Amino acid sequence: MPRWWHDGTAWLDQLPELITETCRRLRLTVDGPARHGSNALVLPVRRDGLPYVLRLNPPDDHDLPAQVAALEFWAGRGTVLLHEADPAVGAMLLERLDGDRSLSSLPLAEAVPIIARVMRRLAVDPPEGVPTTDSWLRSGAERFGREWEELDRPFPARLLDGVLEATGRLITEPGEDRAVNGDLHHDQVLAGEREPWLVVDPVLIRGDIEYDLARILWSRLDEMADQDVHDHLRTVVEVAGLRAERARCWVIFRAADYLFWGLRHGLTEDPPRCRRLLDLLLT
């Protein structure tokens, strides 16, 4: 990530000392090798003989308070349990899951129904004061045509018409008002003991459960034949109890939104996947 190329290196240099001090203060013993994603270090630890993981983010990570709030809100209902948090140093003490077993390790025929059940399990009454799926819809309706022109018309006008029609339907037709994980995909659902599968790194928003269905598809789209895409979409709709046409419209909206974002930020793999979803759902 670009954040580590310059100023972020200071935090990386401090990590050994930070780990030592945090483990001392929380009475933790390191229990295995570290793992990392793009923005955090995760270290297996024990306290009083019990297994946990210590997650360390840079303390200036603006997403950290929202991550803590999301985990506190769901409180282990379909998500990893948060035991302690110290945002001042970017530390979270979490339930230990099986880092070697995510839904990405399962065949799609097994993984898709599981992630659909996870979607429904997270869909409880939402809190106040979090972003809404409706705000993204209205933002997209306002900017999609302009972005299409600015990005040199990356797909045919007929697809843009379909995207705008789907967006309009989502805005004008009644939606839901449930708690939603705005960053749900196979890599972030890990095997656990308390529950078979639990979400890590949830992003708490409110509105339509279908919001991130497109990401569930595009994150493993290369494994799917064209008919598989339709079949897996139908499976999620049936298992999660969604409305089929609204789910389809959300996939179209999110695929277009991420395609534009990806092109602006120089991504090379995900925009073609999003384009493929548009082709499949707007033919």
Q: Which residues 6+ apart lie within 8 Å of 31 measured at CB?
A: 44, 45, 46, 51
Please tell me the predicted confidence (pLDDT) of residue 234: 98
Q: Which amino acid is at 116?
A: A
Please tell me the predicted confidence (pLDDT) of residue 7: 67
Beta strands in the chain (DSSP E): 29-30, 35-36, 41-47, 50-56, 82-86, 91-95, 98-102, 178-181, 189-191, 197-199, 204-207
Please tell me the predicted confidence (pLDDT) of residue 3: 65
Token pair listed for 233: 């979409």
Please tell me the predicted confidence (pLDDT) of residue 1: 64
Active site residue 183: yes
Please tell me the predicted confidence (pLDDT) of residue 13: 87
Residue appearing with tokens 């009083």: 48
Please tell me the predicted confidence (pLDDT) of residue 122: 98
Please tell me the predicted confidence (pLDDT) of residue 8: 66
Please tell me the predicted confidence (pLDDT) of residue 38: 78
pLDDT (tens place) for every residue of the chain, 283 residues total: 666 666 668 888 889 999 999 999 999 999 999 998 878 899 999 999 999 999 998 877 778 889 999 999 999 999 999 999 998 889 999 999 999 999 999 999 999 999 999 999 999 999 999 999 999 999 999 999 999 999 999 999 999 999 999 999 999 999 999 999 999 999 999 999 999 999 999 999 999 999 999 999 999 999 999 999 999 999 999 999 999 999 999 999 999 999 999 999 999 999 999 999 999 999 8
56, 90 Cβ separation under 8 angstroms: yes
Please tell me the predicted confidence (pLDDT) of residue 59: 73
C-alpha to C-alpha distances, 137 to 19, 230, 236, nearest whole angstrom = 42, 23, 21
CA 259 vs. chain centroid, Å, equals: 16
> One of 31, 183, 187, 228 is an active-site residue; which one?
183
Please tell me the predicted confidence (pLDDT) of residue 93: 98
Return the number of other C-beta atoms located less than 10 Å from residue 13's C-beta.
10
